[in-house]
Amino acid sequence: MSTIAEKILSRKSVEGERVSAGEIVACKIDYVMVNDVTGVPAFEVFEELNHSMQRESVVAIADHYVPNKDLASAKQAKALQDYCIKYGIENYYWPGDGGVCHQVMIEEGFAAPGRLIVGADSHTCSYGALGAFSTGIGSTEAAAVMATGELWFKVPETQRFIVDGKLRRYVSGKDIILHILGDISVSGSLYRAQEFYGSAIESLPLADRITICNMAIEAGAKAGIIPPDDKVFEYLKGRVRGDYTPVYADKDAEYEDTFRYDAETIPSTVAAPFLPDNTSPARDLDVVIDQAYLGSCTNGRIEDLRIAAAIVNGRKVKRNVRMIVVPATQQVYLQAIREGLLEIFASAGAFVSGPTCGACLGGYMGVLDAGEVCVSSTNRNFVGRMGHKDSLVYLASPAVVAASAIAGKITDPEDL
Amino acid sequence: MWKFGDNVDTDQIIPAEYLVTGDPKELARYAFCKVRGEFAKEVREGDIIVGGSNFGSGSSREHAPRALIGAGISCVIAASFARIYFRNSINIGLPPIECKIRAEDGDILEVDLGKGLIRNTTSGESFNFKPLPGFLQEMVDAGGLIEWLRSKPQ
């Protein structure tokens, strides 16, 4: 009967109604997240409403331009902190405490199966990896949720993606989602939810599943959801806030479409400028790079750093190539120190920084000049995304980023 | 009228380096600066943007429709919209009109939101679109989500 999206939106419906695709429904929101860029406008709009604050459900995470990159961002970050103090927002994370917002939401136990979470950042869809329905919204809607604790949704149609088989060495969740994007295009899931199934998905660690759901938005999807299993429940032990109820699709759920992929045929995949669906096998490209960026909500987790460190260990980053390593959160950063990963990167000649969104969106800490080329573990390669309008971003897995940093050109790690 | 292609992402509408203010007028100074340098200088109050499919894709930044409002854009017509942009646009009172039309840069368009009718007075062609569902049109008419919420009893 129902997909995961239909079930979660029904369970969270204000009126307690059972809804299906196409219907419009008002829902109760478990958490609303804002960052330093989207949070300040949200609080400003909230103040216009003259309403009490649902403070327990608000999470504010400074990550885009912190540590402050300039005076304007300093002013913005201070404004966010001042609002959090003013409204008693306990779930406020700052530099040295949090990190990239989506990884913080997951590590800190806000994201959990069956929950309905909205965030003023498009990659909020990441929490679908834990079986939540989570989706990006704007600042004005975030303000409305801060006040009312509710939001309207049009219940989406759902597309089902089945990836069966065994992945080849070095092929990861990033390659799966880039491969799917190459197939369905950047508008292939517009207004829809995605559900992911199959033995290859089941075998993936949670980190890779987060990468897949993180990039659901790059196909225009409202949510990307993976049915939660023991890996998720294990991860949540001692971490999750409050109770949660896993939600699964009915056996006879109605899907708009089903897409099937054979994991063994998916290569290490790269998306060339200027869209995430402009994909080809890494091996087919002959592209000299100026920068290799490892980090972001897409691929800045400890598992990603481990894979990249194993490749660069004992090697040197190619002369004149800047390799930049940015652990997603303070927790990842600490764990990477404990495991000696940061020393491996630094010894190889990489620049290692603390957590920030930084250069992923062309903010700072790795902005590109005209004509420069970056292979990046991030999620977008739009015109000017990481700097100058004439710079080029190639999206890839951590393994491809690491191999490319060593070789000085885009490289399949199997060929290093 | 300003014509754009498919997949106009919000990084193109307002690049991330300018997201240190939410002020529409300030943001408007940098609208489309990386892809269409003349836009901010030449755009006039009441101008219309016509896009292809997936307009407003990518980042959730509400700064994008805010920049367009600051630039004086009266509405955006596109074959389809990315969903976060679509909602943001309604929430701040800039009507998104889902309609595939034929038009070229500089054409004069007349839009009737209530009737769901676009007239290209330059070419003489007319196009019909499905008006927004009732409560969303109410929201646009009220000037956005906040004004709409305020108009309702709490």
> Residue ranges per domain, chain A?
4-260, 269-415
Give the span between the Cα atoms of A255 and A232, in whole angstroms. Answer: 24
Interface contact A186-B80, CB threshold 8 A: no
B 22-41 residues with CB < 8 A to A: 22, 34-35
Cα separation, A100 vs B73, in Å, equals 34
Taking all residues of chain A, what is their mean pLDDT, rounded to a whole number? Answer: 98
B22·A136 Cβ contact <8 A: no
Whether B12 contacts chain A with CB within 8 A: yes
A160 touches chain B (CB under 8 A): no
Task: Note the pLDDT of residue B82.
Answer: 97
Percentage of chain B exceeding pLDDT 90: 90
- Tell me the two tokens of residue A398: 């951590």
Is B7 in contact with A186 (Cβ distance < 8 A)?
Answer: yes
For A:77-116, CB contacts with B below 8 A are: none
- Which residues in chain B have their CB less than 8 angstroms from residue A143's CB? 146
What are the pLDDT digits (tens) for A207-261? 999 999 999 999 999 999 999 999 999 999 999 999 999 999 999 999 999 999 9
Question: Which CATH number do you get for residue B51?
Answer: 3.20.19.10
Give the mean model confidence (pLDDT) for residues B75-95. 96
Average of pLDDT values for B82-88?
A: 97
Q: Quick one: fold of A4-260?
A: Aconitase; domain 3 (3.30.499)
Look at residue A134 and tell me whether its pLDDT is greater than 70: yes
Nearest CA distance, B102 vs chain A (angstrom)? 21
**pLDDT above 90: residue A18:** yes
Domain count for chain B: 1
d(CA A340, CA B97): 54
- B78: domain range? 2-150
Q: Would you say B140 and B95 are in contact if contact means Cβ atoms under 8 Å apart?
A: yes
The predicted-structure confidence for A248-283, as pLDDT tens digits, reads as follows 999 999 999 999 999 999 999 999 999 999 999 999
Yes or no, beta carbons of B16 and A220 under 8 Å apart: no
Pairwise CB contact (< 8 Å): A361 & B11: yes
Reported as a single tens digit per residue, the pLDDT across A386-398 is 999 999 999 999 9
A138 contacts chain B (CB < 8 A): yes
pLDDT tens digits for A169-200?
999 999 999 999 999 999 999 999 999 999 99
Helix (H/G/I), strand (E/B), else coil: B98: strand
**CATH code of the domain made up of A269-415:** 3.30.499.10
**Residue among B54, B61, B63 whose CB faces A190 most closely:** B54
Centre a 10 Å sphere on the Cβ of residue A284 and count the other Cβ atoms it contains. Answer: 11
pLDDT at B154: 57
* Residue B153 predicted with pLDDT over 70: no
**For residue A217, what pLDDT is reported?**
98
| Percentage of residues in chain B having pLDDT higher than 70 | 99
DSSP state of A11: H
Q: Where would I find the beta strands (DSSP E) of chain B?
A: 2-3, 48-51, 75-78, 96-98, 109-112, 117-120, 126-128
